[in-house]
Structure 1
Amino acid sequence: MTYHGAVKVGGPPDVRELAHLIITKIAVGPFENNAYLLRCRATDEQLLIDAAAEGPLLLESVGEQLATVVTTHQHHDHWAALGEVVTATGARTAAGRIDAPGIPVPTDLLLDDGDVLRVGQVELRVRHLAGHTPGAIVLIYDDPQGHPHVFTGDCLFPGGPGRTTQPEDFKSLMEALEGKVFTLPDETWIYPGHGNDTTLGAERPQLQEWWARGW
């Protein structure tokens, strides 16, 4: 079945099978967060992005082994089930260095811009995008047999960047998106923290409109 990335809370997950990586997208919780389970085809090692809510459902999807849980940023709706998932699996925790103090579950691995995070034989590039929160991160998988895939948390959605509360934060986020995400090709697939997926090609024409709208 073709992956579409449109999932609903209470509905089935959507699964995307790439040459080296399997991505499972699950919608959870009252804020309709997306959680992403990544599994390396070669090793079966798994990494979860944002243990947002509904711990039992996430654990059912994970199964018996989980190596790492990455939290994209410090907002509560992205880590509400983190403690439950880590206690059950023993997975290490990872988050951006600046946001980690705002996450009540201790962070084992502090991530900086440009770091490489591995799930089995698959490499994910970490980029720090300040603005939505001071230490938000996105993860980029540059598929050697396809196009890039970017897990953006709340930094980018279909239709625009994540919400900020100050004009300087909007400026920081826009500059980070332009310099670290929109340098990728149009076919780059975007997996946001809430809602449906998109591509950079679909979002690129709106860049100037976002700047004009400001925060």
Structure 2
Amino acid sequence: MSTPTYTGDVEVGGPADVRELPGLTISKVAVSEMANNAYLLRCTATGEALLVDAAAEPDTLRSFIGDADLRTVVTTHGHWDHHRALPEVVAATGAVTVAHPADAADLPVPVQRPVEHGDTVAVGEQVLEVVRLRGHTPGSIALVWRGPEDAGVHVFTGDSLFPGGVGNTQQDPARFASLVDDVEQRLFGTLPDEAWVYPGHGKDTTIGAERPSLPEWRARGW
């Protein structure tokens, strides 16, 4: 079962929120003037860890990582606010950098492991599925963890899905159509309502909480 006190509501400069699940501990912290979320996933069996988005404030992130055995940093997409601390985090930990090749050129360090839609990324004994969501950027990805026992399903969506809508596509109809189609087919079409959504900024949500709003999002075009 998840930690009863976990809400996912964190503030820049404030403490991390920690969720203890069977097989995986998920910690969330907010950094920078953009209030970016960074997530530390630690396998409870091995202690190996993975960071989702080394967004900013390298000192904060190093403290956040602590003594975790950080093996991997996944960057959800190429926008600058999601990878400003990547060089420092990689230099301090030796972690392998992971991203989609369509966004790799926008990162400040080489992508050592390019991933495509349907690939998997391991954190210790746990496995995350890579889901490409085209539109916010060409190479935006989400990570889906289908936990053991009663851990549930958890998805880290970067800037592609938030409470209340999909990510910003700069009023480009083609990019919006691409993103909302991918989100509907690859997330809402495959995940249960109770699946927990961890976005790149702001509060968490669930697939079930957002599902009824899909027609409204399509109608408004953003």
| CA drift at 1:104 | 2.0
Q: Distance in 2 between matches of 1:46 and 1:60?
A: 14
**Counterpart position of 1:85:** 89
**Counterpart position of 1:173:** 179
Q: Distance in 1 between matches of 2:52 and 2:145?
A: 13
**Counterpart position of 1:21:** 24
Q: Distance in 1 between matches of 2:135 and 2:38?
A: 21
Q: Percent identity?
A: 57
**Counterpart position of 1:130:** 134
Q: Distance in 1 between matches of 2:104 and 2:149?
A: 33
- For normalisation by structure 1, the TM-score amounts to 0.98
How big is each residue's C-alpha offset from its partner over 1:13-44, in whole Å with a ceiling of 9 and x where there is no partner? 00000000000000001100000000000000
After TM superposition, the structure 1 = structure 2 runs for residues 41-60 of structure 1, keeping only pairs within 5 Å, are 41-60=44-63
Q: Does 1:187 align with 2:194?
A: yes
Q: Which 5+ residue runs of structure 1 have no aligned equivalent?
A: none
Q: Distance in 2 between matches of 1:145 and 1:14?
A: 22
Q: Which 5+ residue runs of structure 2 have no aligned equivalent?
A: none
Q: Distance in 2 between matches of 1:58 and 1:93?
A: 16
Q: Distance in 2 between matches of 1:93 and 1:154?
A: 19
Counterpart amino acid of 1:152?
T
| CA drift at 1:63 | 2.0
Q: Distance in 1 between matches of 2:181 and 2:208?
A: 18
**Counterpart position of 1:208:** 215
| CA drift at 1:11 | 0.6
Q: Does 1:109 align with 2:113?
A: yes
Counterpart amino acid of 1:162?
G
- For normalisation by structure 2, the TM-score amounts to 0.95
How big is each residue's C-alpha offset from its partner over 1:115-173, in whole Å with a ceiling of 9 and x where there is no partner? 01000000000011100000000000011223210000000000000010211000000
The list of structure 1 runs, each at least 4 consecutive aligned residues, that deviate by more than 6 angstroms after superposition, is none
Q: Distance in 2 between matches of 1:89 and 1:3?
A: 27
**Corresponding residue SS for 2:97:** strand
**Counterpart position of 1:155:** 160
Q: Does 1:73 align with 2:80?
A: no
Matched positions, count: 215
| CA drift at 1:101 | 1.4
| CA drift at 1:62 | 1.1
* Pairing partner for 2:147 from 138, 143, 150: 143
**Corresponding residue SS for 1:117:** strand
Contact 2:194 2:206 in 1 (8 A): yes
**Corresponding residue SS for 2:179:** helix
Q: Distance in 1 between matches of 2:127 and 2:95?
A: 18
Q: Distance in 2 between matches of 1:53 and 1:30?
A: 9
**Corresponding residue SS for 1:94:** strand
